[in-house]
Amino acid sequence: MSDPSFAPRPTLEDIAARAGVSRATASRVVNGSEGVRAPLAERVRQAVDELGYVPNQAARALVTRRNDAIAVVVAEPETRFFADPFFAQQVRGISRELTAHDNQLVLLLTEGAADYQRVGRYLAGGHVDGALIFSLHDDDTLPALARRAGVPTVIGGRPAWSDSETLYVDCDNRGGARDAVHHLLGLGRRRIGHIAGPLDQTASVDRLDGFRDVLPDADPELIVMGDFTPDGGARAMAQLLDHCPDVDGVFAASDVMASGALRLLRQRGLRVPEDVAVVGFDDIVSVAEWTDPPLTTIRQDIEEMGRMMARLLLRRIDPPEAGAALAPSTGAVLAGSEDASVPLSPIVTRTKLVVRASA
Amino acid sequence: MSDPSFAPRPTLEDIAARAGVSRATASRVVNGSEGVRAPLAERVRQAVDELGYVPNQAARALVTRRNDAIAVVVAEPETRFFADPFFAQQVRGISRELTAHDNQLVLLLTEGAADYQRVGRYLAGGHVDGALIFSLHDDDTLPALARRAGVPTVIGGRPAWSDSETLYVDCDNRGGARDAVHHLLGLGRRRIGHIAGPLDQTASVDRLDGFRDVLPDADPELIVMGDFTPDGGARAMAQLLDHCPDVDGVFAASDVMASGALRLLRQRGLRVPEDVAVVGFDDIVSVAEWTDPPLTTIRQDIEEMGRMMARLLLRRIDPPEAGAALAPSTGAVLAGSEDASVPLSPIVTRTKLVVRASA
DNA sequence: GCATACTCAGAGAGCGCTCTCACAAGTGGC
DNA sequence: GCCACTTGTGAGAGCGCTCTCTGAGTATGC
């Protein structure tokens, strides 16, 4: 009973025998290649159905050197990934895209340096055809590791260091930040503060830069540091109020920090948005919509970014010619018309201001 | 440049040649089996290092019929999984445990019936050695599908239907619910309401049962339905107040719903906990600690549950005898002393009341 | 009607690994 | 000093698949 193979899986050979053809022909039919006469092909297909044949991926991978699997590598210190649903949404986008192209998603979570070696070995082992890497910190060696392993890679978020070969997908953090500040200005706010994220992450830096684009002469005291946690947001807000009691608008670099700021404002008896208007960033629905008042924020289409990462990676793994094997009904049309022509380069997605009650 | 194999990966044969031994001996060393004389083994190990050899998993899987990979299957309608960090935490636990046993995690997200077939085919294809399935709905066919595919399985959360073969990991929902209600009673509350989750999930049913264990004669109006979303929680709270304005305590079946309830209470000008005390369930830190006031709740150790699922599955996949191959420094000790002796059966973990400000 | 081209199917090698089995040494008993 | 016996090593088959190469059959050209 502990033997999982009580009903031994049929092999290609079995299919071939049943259909009365050679293994090669059966293989051709299974893989949808041309040049098998209809009646034969039909017989093979029938045999596949009857026997419930599923190709052995290991055997196939052994000869094709393709695994039809990609790794999603998440560097653990990424608190965001476990504190808010950002990660889950992105993964969903990735999963959808990979599924549409019959690829599997292997999830690799790393904790600490020791794990980096493990991931390095894994990537070097050729178990996957590519990797999607999430590692927003400056000093992260993960991308280098993947390159050394010769594994095609796409990074989630703009990496701090990148050459022309590096592929990544990010949202327009800087532009989004500008929109946020403009919105506050449009509401007549004149003392606008910024709660920044940790500056070892490019997203934080870019959002800060956007803030400065609009308010180049802002009082330095109006810029305070948070850490992408609610508590950090609250502490930053407190600091802001202590130094600049007349602040009337705040742009927080994340919804999560904004939620902490809102809490602190309430504790201090300040009304939002009447006394202080607050704008967040991300539009994590389950955060922005729950806060009190609901948060005005900058939306990034997280799931779509996930999809784009996957799409970009798949294109890097095997360039244009594909598409032929795909039925025209699937995402192939889009892939054929749009994708194949576009050069392989980083993607920066647009953001969008979502106005709710907090500003 | 687009050829990923510019530096062809060394094979076992290469290692053997370099060490001046046969492929078989090299294999023995690589796989840590006994009976290779020290000097030879050393030479092989050195060759491995020098050449940066990593075994080809596909080739190995082909002969051993083991993939050292397990699938984590998540049924999409599981809103929870993308609305709160529950899923991420559980996955982290799973990942840790799998990593410790050199297994990979293949993530399968499903959306709709069509995907079930895909997952079924995948599992039947023998790509993974086992599956961890999250599907909390009554009518879910996923577990049956896995069984038909002959894939060892552990379910996350008590399934609605289960025979003696079914393995699952859940927390003591009923006991936790009782604790929650007792806590409210201990605070002197006498009109205690319950915001239940959707009753097609056993977790919701069990928590409701726990509530009824303590308050068997509760006014039916005091039990209202939510849907595990903040909005649902708010609506349920509103309904509760409309029908029973004198309610002075609420046990919500999830933190997320409790957060919605808190928001509604604030809108209605009721103080928490003075007017109405609120207890949640789950202890999703990023929810329970952010609410205003912070939420008293029932903690389940989500990550640990993930670990246990993985551990249970690995044991089902290959029973006791293991452990021998592992170095005594790793988790093997624990696995040897604790694990191997325990019979293979569902696991129900203890919950714990965490008192914060809301009750 | 015979050479040429083209289409479709099969034979067979081989991907990188594990594992059984046979064999070459080294141990000890009598 | 011969026959077990144990121990360490290598030869070789074979996991299930893909893919090239060859050959059989059919269509086309002059």
Q: Is A225 helix (H, G, I), strand (E, B) or coil?
A: strand
A87 vs B257, which has greater pLDDT? B257
pLDDT of residue A178: 98
**Do B214 and B292 share a structural domain?**
yes
pLDDT of residue A218: 94
**Distance from C-alpha of A305 to C-alpha of B349, rounded to nearest angstrom:** 37
Cβ–Cβ contact A106 with B under 8 A: yes
Q: Which residues lie across from B74 on neighbouring strands?
A: B109, B134
Question: Which residues in chain B touch residue A286, judged by CB atoms under 8 angstroms apart?
Answer: 83-84, 230, 256
A245 vs A23, which has greater pLDDT? A245
Q: Does A62 contact B65 at a Cβ distance shorter than 8 Å?
A: no
**Do A120 and A89 share a structural domain?**
yes
Is cis: bond before B293, omega within 30 of 0? Answer: yes
Q: Does A85 contact B88 at a Cβ distance shorter than 8 Å?
A: yes
What's the distance, CA B129 to chain centroid?
18
**Do A179 and A163 share a structural domain?**
no
**Do A292 and A243 share a structural domain?**
yes
Q: Does A99 contact B118 at a Cβ distance shorter than 8 Å?
A: yes
Residue A4 within a domain: no
Find the Å distance, CA of residue A135 to C1' of nucleotide D25. Answer: 60
Q: Does A57 contact B125 at a Cβ distance shorter than 8 Å?
A: yes
**Distance from C-alpha of A12 to C-alpha of A35, rounded to nearest angstrom:** 18
Closest-lying nucleotide for B60 based on CA to C1': C17
For every residue of B225-288, which 3-state class applies, written as one string?
ECCCCHHHHHHHHHHHHHHCCCCCEEEECCHHHHHHHHHHHHHCCCCCCCCCEEECCECCHHHH
Answer whether residue B274 shows pLDDT above 90: yes
**Do B189 and B335 share a structural domain?**
no
Residues (31-60, chain B) with CB within 7 Å of strand D atoms: 34-37, 40, 59
Q: Does B91 contact A107 at a Cβ distance shorter than 8 Å?
A: yes
CA-nearest of A266, A197, A252, A256 to A225 is A197
**pLDDT grade for B145, boundaries at 50, 70 and 90:** confident
Residue A60 within a domain: no
Per-residue pLDDT tens digits for A204-219:
999 999 999 999 999 9
Give the sign of the dihedral formed by CA A176, CA A81, CA B198, CA B233: negative
Using an 8 Å Cβ cutoff, are A327 and A151 in contact? Answer: no
The CA–CA distances, whole Å, from A226 to A44, A157, A323 equal 62, 19, 46
pLDDT of residue B253: 96
Using an 8 Å Cβ cutoff, are A9 and A55 in contact? Answer: no
Closest-lying nucleotide for B36 based on CA to C1': D8
Question: Which residues in chain A touch residue B54, judged by CB atoms under 8 angstroms apart?
Answer: 121, 124-126
pLDDT of residue A332: 30
Find the Å distance, CA of residue B47 to C1' of nucleotide C23. Answer: 26
Residue B152 within a domain: yes
What's chain A's average pLDDT? 86
CATH number of the domain encompassing residue B81:
3.40.50.2300
Per-residue pLDDT tens digits for B90-132:
899 999 999 999 899 999 998 877 788 889 888 988 889 999 9
The neighbour count for residue A239, using CB atoms within 10 Å, is 17
Closest-lying nucleotide for A24 based on CA to C1': C10
Can you give the residue range of the structural domain that contains B40? 12-55
Find the Å distance, CA of residue A34 to C1' of nucleotide C6. Answer: 15
B33 vs B359, which has greater pLDDT? B359
* Segments in A84-229 forming alpha helices (H): 86-100, 112-124, 142-148, 173-186, 202-214
What's chain B's average pLDDT? 86
Per-residue pLDDT tens digits for A233-243:
999 999 999 99
Q: Is B175 helix (H, G, I), strand (E, B) or coil?
A: helix
Using an 8 Å Cβ cutoff, are B354 and B315 in contact? Answer: no
Residue B1 within a domain: no
Closest-lying nucleotide for A16 based on CA to C1': C10
**Distance from C-alpha of B78 to C-alpha of B72, rounded to nearest angstrom:** 14
pLDDT of residue B162: 79
Using an 8 Å Cβ cutoff, are A222 and A193 in contact? Answer: yes
In chain B, which residue's Cα lies nearest the Cα of A66? B58
The number of domains in chain A is: 3
Residue B355 within a domain: no
**Do A155 and A104 share a structural domain?**
yes
**Distance from C-alpha of A358 to C-alpha of A276, rounded to nearest angstrom:** 9
CA-nearest of B224, B227, B216 to B243 is B224
pLDDT of residue A320: 55
**Do B143 and B210 share a structural domain?**
no
Per-residue pLDDT tens digits for A257-306:
999 999 999 999 999 999 999 999 999 887 888 788 999 999 999 999 99
pLDDT of residue B93: 93
Give the sign of the dihedral formed by CA B302, CA B305, CA B309, CA B314: positive
Asked if residue B27 keeps its beta carbon closer than 7 A to nucleic acid strand C, the reply is yes
Closest-lying nucleotide for B35 based on CA to C1': D8
Residue A178 within a domain: yes
CA distance A280 to chain B (A): 16
B2 vs A148, which has greater pLDDT? A148
Answer whether residue B2 shows pLDDT above 50: no
**Distance from C-alpha of A277 to C-alpha of A268, rounded to nearest angstrom:** 14
pLDDT of residue B218: 94
The neighbour count for residue A128, using CB atoms within 10 Å, is 27
**Distance from C-alpha of B156 to C-alpha of B302, rounded to nearest angstrom:** 11
Kindly state the average pLDDT of the residues B315-330: 54
**Do A318 and A261 share a structural domain?**
no
Q: Does B84 contact A286 at a Cβ distance shorter than 8 Å?
A: yes
**Do A179 and A101 share a structural domain?**
no
Kindly state the average pLDDT of the residues A325-354: 61
CA distance B218 to chain A (A): 30
Interface of A with B in 206-225 (CB under 8 A): none
CATH number of the domain encompassing residue B47:
1.10.260.40
Residue B267 within a domain: yes
Closest residue (CA to C1') to nucleotide D18 in the complex:
A63
Answer whether residue A3 shows pLDDT above 60: no
Q: Is B289 helix (H, G, I), strand (E, B) or coil?
A: coil
**Distance from C-alpha of B289 to C-alpha of B296, rounded to nearest angstrom:** 9
pLDDT of residue B150: 86
Per-residue pLDDT tens digits for A94-139:
999 999 998 999 999 988 777 888 898 889 888 899 999 987 677 7
Closest-lying nucleotide for A36 based on CA to C1': C8
**Distance from C-alpha of A183 to C-alpha of A194, rounded to nearest angstrom:** 14
Which of A107, A230, A260 has its CB closest to that of B95?
A: A107
Cβ–Cβ contact B320 with A under 8 A: no
Cβ–Cβ contact B161 with A under 8 A: no
Kindly state the average pLDDT of the residues A58-76: 90
**Distance from C-alpha of B237 to C-alpha of B218, rounded to nearest angstrom:** 17
CA-nearest of A125, A81, A68, A70 to A310 is A70
Per-residue pLDDT tens digits for B18-52:
888 888 899 999 888 777 888 888 888 999 998 88
Kindly state the average pLDDT of the residues A180-194: 97
- Write the DSSP assignment of A169-206 as a string of letters: EEE-HHHHHHHHHHHHHHTT--SEEEEE--TTBHHHHH
**Do B213 and B230 share a structural domain?**
yes
Answer whether residue B328 shows pLDDT above 60: no
Q: Does A56 contact B104 at a Cβ distance shorter than 8 Å?
A: no
**Distance from C-alpha of B88 to C-alpha of B70, rounded to nearest angstrom:** 17
CA-nearest of B118, B125, B160, B126 to B143 is B160
Per-residue pLDDT tens digits for B193-223:
999 999 988 999 999 999 999 999 999 999 9
**Do B119 and B152 share a structural domain?**
yes
CA-nearest of B314, B282, B318 to B300 is B282
**Distance from C-alpha of B105 to C-alpha of B155, rounded to nearest angstrom:** 15
* Segments in chain B forming alpha helices (H): 12-19, 23-30, 38-51, 57-64, 79-83, 86-100, 112-124, 142-148, 173-186, 202-214, 230-243, 255-267, 285-288, 302-317, 332-334
- DSSP element (H, E) containing A313: helix A302-317
Q: Which of B81, B257, B286 to mutate to test the interface with A (most CBs of A within 10 A)?
A: B286
Which of A125, A259, A263 has its CB closest to that of B54?
A: A125
**What is the percentage of chain A residues whose pLDDT exceeds 90?**
54
Asked if residue B45 keeps its beta carbon closer than 7 A to nucleic acid strand C, the reply is no
Give the sign of the dihedral formed by CA B198, CA B202, CA B205, CA B211: negative
Residue A7 within a domain: no
Verdict on whether the full-model pTM lies above 0.85: yes
The CA–CA distances, whole Å, from B62 to A6, A14, A62, B127 equal 17, 17, 8, 10
Residues (24-63, chain A) with CB within 7 Å of strand D atoms: 24, 27, 30-31, 53, 55-56, 59-60, 62-63
pLDDT of residue B38: 84
**Do B220 and B291 share a structural domain?**
yes
A115 vs B192, which has greater pLDDT? B192
Query: What percent helix, strand, coil does chain A show, rounded to 5?
Result: 45, 15, 40
CA-nearest of A251, A248, A254, A315 to A70 is A315
